[in-house]
Structure 1
Amino acid sequence: MRSSSSASASAPRPPSTAAPAGASALRLWGLLFVLAGNMLIDALEVSVVVVALPSIGADLGLPLTSAQWMMTGFAIGFGGLMLFGGRVVERLGRREVYLAALVGFAAASVAGALVDDVRLLVATRVVKGFCAALTAPTGLAIIQTAYPEGPLRDRALSVYTLFGASGFTAGLLLSGVLTAVDWRLTFAFPAPVVLVLFFFGLRLIPGTDRKAGRRPGDDGPPRYDVAGAATWTAGLLTLVGGTVSVPTHGWTGLRSGGLLAASAVLFVAFVLVERRTPHPLVRFTFLTHGPLVRSALGAAALNGSYLGLLFVLTYELQTLHGWHPLRAALALVPAAAPLAVTALLSGRMVAAFGTARLIAVGAVFPLAGYVWQVRQSWPLDYATTVLPTTLLVGAGFVLSFAALNTQATSQLPPPERRAGAGLYQTAVQAGAALVPALVAALLVAHRPAAGAPPAEFLAACRPALVLVALVGALGLLVGVAGARPRRD
């Protein structure tokens, strides 16, 4: 958007810092409604299935190792195709890709609510994850270009941030309400919402120059690096598939061992592809950038351990203790709500204390919560066991979540920050895919025989909780390493 300065009409006009009036202001608020609304949908898409997992498993006859795909499928689509999605947006344009992703998300939501085959259900989750990978970062880029620099853009970014931070909490509550009626509603409900956003977006999302995102000298046919995206995503899929197959087929079984071996081959192929292609999705020089690597590892540990904990708790509360889905959802809210409440204060915290300190101190609280949860006993007491754990995890997110995001890219040169942010988000989603899969495998591997007392089933959850605590300890080690004084 441009200002009407008194300079010559042929001269370039700087962006206006004044708030637009009338129809222009209304249009910008309408655009923010579309972008923030879709960010909310993207953010709640993982949590909305957390409470529904026991109902999905019971209705479709799925073991925990199959039900976990409802969580990890979305994370694989999101993280596995995040970097590829950025390339698609570069080549085809923000408006076109954003609108197409909204339609794809709605179609996958409807399909997920109708199918019974677990493979098709997982496929819809992967598709929705890919659509989120197209819209989540693109929405932020649209705000940064469509809104004039100054108070208006600041307000738009605040609203966008608030909706994103509130999404996980909203998803938990919505999951509890909808699952009590029918778990299929948790898959179907985004469709009408996203279609409404699509029709508004047709009128409000601005067009972009398709060549704007191309690198200098890259005037030939679009290069998407499909081979890189395919090998990376397939590697994640086979790694998760092999991991959850181990309890049933053993480490040397054709299904489990074969998938794990295929995963290793695919990751090696990904590295070879990226080293040879002239426009790789991943620039391996980023791996020498300490703040980005530490942020990626810390965020992957934080996100993965958090989702692993929720996986265990929803199994314990609903399957073992017979809690109503809404009651279970409310029980998990203390882990998610603090971040939503304090989202707009996170920038001030980072400015006041610095990223390294917040990350290191923030990693202490979730680890303390995980260790506290390991000592659980039958019957599981919410007030003295689960509630302290969820509050400690919530405190960790308040302190370190924004600091991790900031540290990941703040020291990169401006032209490199978008690529660095994509690599960081890929790591975050990889943690969200791998840790719940490992947790599910441990729960199944240590599950006692049918008919055993409930106390034995609860005790069998301890190895999974120990794994969650170990992942949290990794996050603490990374945070402490980043907080140590360093020589120039």
Structure 2
Amino acid sequence: MTSSTAPLTPAAAGARQWALLAVLAGNMLLDALEVSVLVVAAPVIGADLGLPPAGVQWTMSGFALGFAGLLLYGPQLAERRGRRRTYLVALALFAAASLAGAVATDPVVLVATRFVKGCCAALTAPMGLAIITSAFAEGPVRRRAVSVYALFGAAGFTVGLLLSGLLTEWDWRWTLAFPAPVVAVLFVVGARVVPRDTPAPGAGAARPDAVGALLLTGALTAVVGGFSLVPADGWTGPRGSGLLLLSMALLVALGLRERAVSRPLVPASLLRAPGLARAALGAACLNGAYLSTLLGATLHLQVRAGHSPWWTALAFLPASAPLACSALYSGRMVGRFGTRRLIAAGLSLALAGFVLLWHRGLTAPYPTGLLPALLLVGAGFVLAFTALNTQATAGVPDGDKGRASAAYQTAVQAGAALVLALTAALLPSASEPATPARAPALTAVAVVAALGWLSALGGLRAGERGDASRSTPVRRRTS
């Protein structure tokens, strides 16, 4: 991607430069909080629209599916159409989808708007960092801008939980509507300050792989759809089994296409990178287990225990606030201890939290059940989050780091969607007994977390490259 103007410097740009950072960081905050903003609202949405747990999880996994589906396609689209145009169009669609979701009365329409917002976030979140690196001069100014951008991304999940709890007390539809006016302001300012650019040389001849993106999105959506039918049809029902078979067929078609096209979504060399594979698996398992735990806990706390949405949001802070508070110092930890040790320690603490909750159950008193489990998971995120991001691109050639990061984030979002659908299918309905210790959904969460932990131990034994922090260590929160 080439820019039509020279990179901005502090002396030449001044206020315009920091206005650009305000737009990019503000949008990053919105992209991050969209992951969590419906967590606390989920029980109220389910009651209002008549959705069981397997249905209400679509409001969360729909966003993750859109995010995962376009992350690898977005950079190709930006190269062909230009970063500025792609970024601003995504902002406008995000605002429109927010308003449409707020007035939706059909669950299908609501999930569709969440999917569109996920697609928009897939375009703006990584592109914001790319705009920073081209608009801010290399050195302290750029590092400060990246730190601010990273802080807003890390804080977004916590902000989303708090806003969800606060707005749901009034009306759950406000959790969907409030981004629209904020994004409108960001769009107006962004149209003035986002640098103009032109497509990279030769980009016009290289078409983005839209078919590959559709195959990937379709495969992930089919799996989620298959899992969501389990409560109604069982594990061997024809509809669910058919969707799972369709997913396998789409994945095979995607693999064949990736080998045939001249510009695959993920180069084969990246798929063979052990650091990327282990980091992606570990982060996908951690993110999926965490969001699934929050979904099960929010349904229990509000539907069965009778707590308010605001109380529930505050109850979840021990797992989300520590990462936001430590985001600016996480790079130093990676530089001192290396990625492998931090990932292993972080996923070990998180696994301990999930196992504790599996042992105690959601029916245990909050101070001795959910609270200590969330504290352990939160500590695990503090240690592992930045280390996982760093390990994903360590040892990857500079020209491939962007695609490696996109592949990693795709796995993170896919993990959220798939594990959410699996555990939601195992959660009891409102008319069934409460979730006790060692319930199927909590067992599934613990097994997924154990899989991520085993990948971390494998990396610790393998002694992979990139233990030192040699790349910019933050993209977005793994949840």
Q: TM-score, structure 1 length as denominator?
A: 0.91
Q: CA, structure 1 residues 240+487, in 2 after alignment: closer, same or farther (shift >3 Å)?
A: closer
The answer to whether structure 1 residue 375 and structure 2 residue 359 are counterparts is: yes
CA distance in 2, matches of 1:103, 1:471: 37
- AA at the equivalent of 1:115: A
Q: 1:421, CA displacement in angstroms?
A: 0.9
Residue in structure 2 matched with residue 285 of structure 1 by the alignment: 269
Residue in structure 2 matched with residue 482 of structure 1 by the alignment: 459
| Maintained 8 Å contact 1:232/1:266 | yes
Stretch of structure 1 that moved more, 177-186 or 369-378: 369-378
CA distance in 1, matches of 2:185, 2:164: 21
- AA at the equivalent of 1:66: G
Q: 1:264, CA displacement in angstroms?
A: 1.0
Q: 1:222, CA displacement in angstroms?
A: 4.0
Residue in structure 2 matched with residue 366 of structure 1 by the alignment: 350
Q: 1:44, CA displacement in angstroms?
A: 0.2
- Correspondence for 1:470 among 447, 463, 470: 447
Residue in structure 2 matched with residue 8 of structure 1 by the alignment: none
Instruction: After superposition, give the CA deviation of every residue in 1:379-408 in whole Å (9 maximum; x if it has no partner).
Output: 531111111111111100000000000011
Q: 1:209, CA displacement in angstroms?
A: 2.1
The answer to whether structure 1 residue 342 and structure 2 residue 319 are counterparts is: no
- Correspondence for 2:385 among 388, 392, 401: 401
The answer to whether structure 1 residue 202 and structure 2 residue 191 are counterparts is: yes
CA distance in 2, matches of 1:64, 1:154: 43
Off by >4 Å, runs of 4+ in structure 1 = 13-16, 485-488
CA distance in 1, matches of 2:195, 2:204: 25
Partner secondary structure for residue 97 of structure 2: helix
Residue in structure 2 matched with residue 188 of structure 1 by the alignment: 177
The answer to whether structure 1 residue 53 and structure 2 residue 53 are counterparts is: no
- Correspondence for 1:317 among 301, 305, 309: 301
Residue in structure 2 matched with residue 4 of structure 1 by the alignment: none
Partner secondary structure for residue 278 of structure 1: coil
Q: CA, structure 1 residues 48+392, in 2 after alignment: closer, same or farther (shift >3 Å)?
A: same
Residue in structure 2 matched with residue 144 of structure 1 by the alignment: 133
Q: 1:19, CA displacement in angstroms?
A: 3.5
The answer to whether structure 1 residue 435 and structure 2 residue 419 are counterparts is: yes
- AA at the equivalent of 2:445: V
Q: CA, structure 1 residues 313+219, in 2 after alignment: closer, same or farther (shift >3 Å)?
A: closer
Structure 1 unmatched ranges of 5 or more:
1-12, 213-217
Q: How does 1:8-19 map to 2 (within 5 A)?
A: 19=10
Residue in structure 2 matched with residue 300 of structure 1 by the alignment: 284
Instruction: After superposition, give the CA deviation of every residue in 1:334-355 in whole Å (9 maximum; x if it has no partner).
Output: 1000000000001100000000
Residue in structure 2 matched with residue 257 of structure 1 by the alignment: 241
CA distance in 2, matches of 1:377, 1:262: 35
CA distance in 1, matches of 2:263, 2:156: 34
CA distance in 1, matches of 2:464, 2:233: 50
Residue in structure 1 matched with residue 161 of structure 2 by the alignment: 172
Identity %: 55
Residue in structure 2 matched with residue 69 of structure 1 by the alignment: 58
| Maintained 8 Å contact 2:26/2:152 | yes
Which has more radius of gyration?
A: 1
| Maintained 8 Å contact 1:89/1:97 | yes
Instruction: After superposition, give the CA deviation of every residue in 1:34-66 in whole Å (9 maximum; x if it has no partner).
Output: 000000000000100000000000000011111
Residue in structure 2 matched with residue 351 of structure 1 by the alignment: 335
Q: 1:139, CA displacement in angstroms?
A: 0.3
- AA at the equivalent of 2:196: G
- AA at the equivalent of 1:133: A
Q: CA, structure 1 residues 259+423, in 2 after alignment: closer, same or farther (shift >3 Å)?
A: same
Q: 1:376, CA displacement in angstroms?
A: 2.4
Instruction: After superposition, give the CA deviation of every residue in 1:303-341 in whole Å (9 maximum; x if it has no partner).
Output: 111111111111111111011000000000110000000
Q: 1:252, CA displacement in angstroms?
A: 3.3
For these two proteins, the number of residue pairs brought into alignment is 461
Partner secondary structure for residue 297 of structure 1: helix
Q: CA, structure 1 residues 301+313, in 2 after alignment: closer, same or farther (shift >3 Å)?
A: same
- Correspondence for 1:110 among 96, 99, 106: 99
Residue in structure 1 matched with residue 472 of structure 2 by the alignment: none
CA distance in 1, matches of 2:180, 2:231: 36
CA distance in 1, matches of 2:228, 2:22: 40
| Maintained 8 Å contact 2:80/2:203 | no
Partner secondary structure for residue 226 of structure 2: helix
Q: CA, structure 1 residues 256+485, in 2 after alignment: closer, same or farther (shift >3 Å)?
A: closer
CA distance in 2, matches of 1:422, 1:115: 31
Instruction: After superposition, give the CA deviation of every residue in 1:408-464 in whole Å (9 maximum; x if it has no partner).
Output: 1121010011111111111011101011111100114xx58x3x6xxx312287211
- Correspondence for 1:92 among 73, 81, 88: 81
| Maintained 8 Å contact 1:320/1:458 | no
- AA at the equivalent of 1:293: A
- AA at the equivalent of 2:386: A
Q: CA, structure 1 residues 360+211, in 2 after alignment: closer, same or farther (shift >3 Å)?
A: same
- AA at the equivalent of 2:106: D
| Maintained 8 Å contact 1:443/1:460 | no
CA distance in 2, matches of 1:312, 1:179: 18
- Correspondence for 2:218 among 234, 258, 282: 234
Q: 1:285, CA displacement in angstroms?
A: 2.3
CA distance in 2, matches of 1:84, 1:98: 14
| Maintained 8 Å contact 2:95/2:181 | yes
What is the RMSD of the two structures over their aligned residues, measured on CA atoms?
Answer: 1.8
| Maintained 8 Å contact 1:312/1:461 | no
Partner secondary structure for residue 394 of structure 1: helix
Q: 1:20, CA displacement in angstroms?
A: 1.9
Residue in structure 1 matched with residue 434 of structure 2 by the alignment: 457
Q: TM-score, structure 2 length as denominator?
A: 0.93
| Maintained 8 Å contact 1:15/1:149 | no
- AA at the equivalent of 1:249: D
CA distance in 1, matches of 2:277, 2:416: 17
- AA at the equivalent of 2:71: M
Q: 1:284, CA displacement in angstroms?
A: 2.4
Structure 2 unmatched ranges of 5 or more:
466-479
CA distance in 2, matches of 1:78, 1:485: 31
Residue in structure 2 matched with residue 20 of structure 1 by the alignment: 11
CA distance in 2, matches of 1:487, 1:269: 32
